[in-house]
């Protein structure tokens, strides 16, 4: 059974998520919280496997709560709940160690898939969020290549760079003329070798270390 803590300052959002998850045989809502302080406290008591965490909450916001939650032993996987107008929160949450990002008004099935993925040690990010995250990280100055890159094969580096361009597994397979299953294997190995949980974190890695050419025109704005 996957134990979940729902942290959101809106009671209607918490109730909606609880109802959504109540029909899943392998998911149990262990606790709820209305702010970051309560989320950390409840997590310490109930020891959830996964925390659904709003980033904008009173008293302590989600960014501050992420750091405290990840210091628990064992620490829960954290899935951030967001809206399109919180790019700075997304940027900070990813750097703080969040494993997934979901839009509050996104596909309900994605919430269940994300919880199961996080519990299994993987991350899941709403596809609508990915481009904004990558553009935000592309604005930062690249740092020197870390030693983790030395552990990647040439093909894994190619796949990693395609991740940095925001390509899906199917698009990477077509671009590199390899099987889709092979791409999935490469992605899994890349995540393990880089010590990251999600393909978005791997993509951000490429931008932070200058592996993907930067757009001289700067980041684009997206429709909301």
The predicted structure's pLDDT at residue 26: 96
State the pTM of this model.
0.71
44, 76 contact by CB (below 8 A): no
Quote the CA–CA distance of 221 and 135 in Å, as a whole number: 9
Distance between CA 132 and CA 101 in Å, rounded? 12
Q: How confident is the model at residue 138 (pLDDT cuts 50, 70, 90)?
A: low
Q: Which helix (H) or strand (E) segment is 53 a member of? A: strand 50-54
Q: Would you say 198 and 133 are in contact if contact means Cβ atoms under 8 Å apart?
A: no
Mean pLDDT along residues 179-193: 93
Tell me the β-bridge partners of 167. none
Domains of the chain and any CATH numbers = 2-127 (3.40.50.2300), 137-208 (1.10.10.10)
**Choice among 37-41, 69-73, 213-217 with the minimum mean pLDDT:** 213-217
């Amino acid at each position: 059974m996957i134990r979940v803590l729902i942290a959101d300052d809106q009671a209607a959002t918490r109730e909606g998520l609880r109802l959504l998850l109540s029909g899943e045989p392998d998911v149990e809502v262990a606790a709820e919280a209305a702010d970051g302080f309560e989320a950390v406290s409840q997590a310490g008591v109930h020891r959830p496997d996964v925390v659904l965490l709003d980033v904008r909450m009173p008293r302590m916001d989600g960014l501050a709560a992420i750091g405290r939650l990840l210091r628990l032993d064992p620490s829960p996987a954290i899935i951030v709940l967001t809206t399109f107008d919180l790019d700075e929160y997304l940027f900070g949450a990813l750097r703080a160690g969040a494993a997934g990002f979901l839009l509050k008004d996104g596909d309900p099935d994605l919430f269940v898939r994300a919880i199961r993925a996080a519990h299994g040690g993987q991350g899941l990010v709403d596809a609508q969020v990915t481009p904004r995250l990558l553009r935000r990280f592309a604005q930062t100055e690249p740092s020197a290549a870390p030693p983790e890159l030395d552990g990647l094969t040439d093909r894994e580096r190619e796949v990693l760079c395609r991740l940095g361009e925001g390509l899906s597994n199917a698009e990477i397979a077509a671009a590199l003329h390899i099987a889709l299953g092979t791409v999935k294997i490469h992605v899994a190995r890349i995540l393990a070798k880089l010590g990251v949980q999600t393909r978005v974190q791997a993509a951000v890695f490429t931008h932070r270390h200058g592996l993907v050419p930067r757009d001289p025109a700067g980041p684009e704005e997206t429709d909301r």
